[in-house]
Structure 1
């Protein structure tokens, strides 16, 4: 039975490695130079943001050696209050990733459920959202997430 727990500063190296694996797998990292830079930047970000709880992460430990095989992250955004979100707080789920050898065993679902439970029980946030890969969509849909088309973006 896997152990799902909040990540700590001791997990930063693993969180960084899993994020880079996700970025490689989704085609966001295209060469070694870019990967080295993102490794350094991600490590620096996590060293700052994780202790301050600006970034929250959960991990799944899967064996006696406490191997971390999956992770998921959460950040909160503060917006002006609105009729559908009076608190003005919403959560963005990111960095959901399971090592290939451990997929299909419910680790991502267990992590996602912990993220949802934490948000509902510990915060006034009334919205969680995410960007799903094609492989992740069935999981998120089965947990109640629905596709939206409101968002647009501008990149530079």
Structure 2
């Protein structure tokens, strides 16, 4: 029998669970420093302050016992209008993660769809982007995402 999953928006009380999923995602990507408590504490504070606001949305999947087992995040970015995005409001899907024991049950898909619904229904975003892993690219293509010609580049500014 399939568990009765609950798909819902995360709130500030879910901040620690969302950060744990974020850490799981970073570990799977091989990102260094995942166990550093500094970023985790800062991320919990950020989620506590941001969830429920107009610029970010996290959708989570909860098991029948109330444990958050999957999630996806959407955030807004505001830029100068351009031919690619005439109103300059961009969406970014990120932080898509599922606990290993609950994978392959459609939870990540349900969370991403919930985030896309938020972009469509509650924001002015006209373009949504994401950075896909090989494992996730099939899901994103099924949801209508297409590859772009310009891969991301990054510069770290020391602070």
How does the TM-score come out when normalised to structure 2? Answer: 0.88
Q: d(CA) in 1 for partners of 2:34 and 2:152?
A: 28
Q: Give the structure 1 partner of residue 106 of structure 2.
A: 106
Q: Mark the runs of 5 or more structure 1 residues left unpaired by the alignment.
A: none
Q: CA deviation at 1:62?
A: 2.1
Give the count of matched residue pairs.
153
Q: Give the structure 1 partner of residue 154 of structure 2.
A: 154
**How well do the aligned residues superpose, as a CA RMSD in angstroms?**
1.6
Segments of 4+ in structure 1 off by > 3 A?
A: 51-54
Three-state SS of the structure 1 residue aligned to 2:16 is: helix
Q: How does 1:122-141 map to 2 (within 5 A)?
A: 122-141=122-141
Q: How does 1:56-71 map to 2 (within 5 A)?
A: 56-63=57-64, 65-71=65-71
Q: d(CA) in 2 for partners of 1:84 and 1:27?
A: 32
Tell me the alpha carbon deviations over residues 92-148 of structure 1, each in whole angstroms, 9 at most, x when there is no partner: 001000000011000011111111122112222111110111111111111111111
Q: Give the structure 1 partner of residue 20 of structure 2.
A: 17
Residue pair 2:23, 2:34 contacting (<8 A) in 1 also: no
Q: d(CA) in 1 for partners of 2:25 and 2:82?
A: 34
Residue pair 1:46, 1:55 contacting (<8 A) in 2 also: no
Q: Mark the runs of 5 or more structure 2 residues left unpaired by the alignment.
A: none
How does the TM-score come out when normalised to structure 1? Answer: 0.89
Q: How does 1:18-97 map to 2 (within 5 A)?
A: 18-30=21-33, 32=35, 35-63=36-64, 65-97=65-97
Residue pair 2:79, 2:88 contacting (<8 A) in 1 also: yes
Residue pair 1:72, 1:108 contacting (<8 A) in 2 also: yes
Three-state SS of the structure 1 residue aligned to 2:77 is: strand
Change (3 A) 1:43 1:68: same
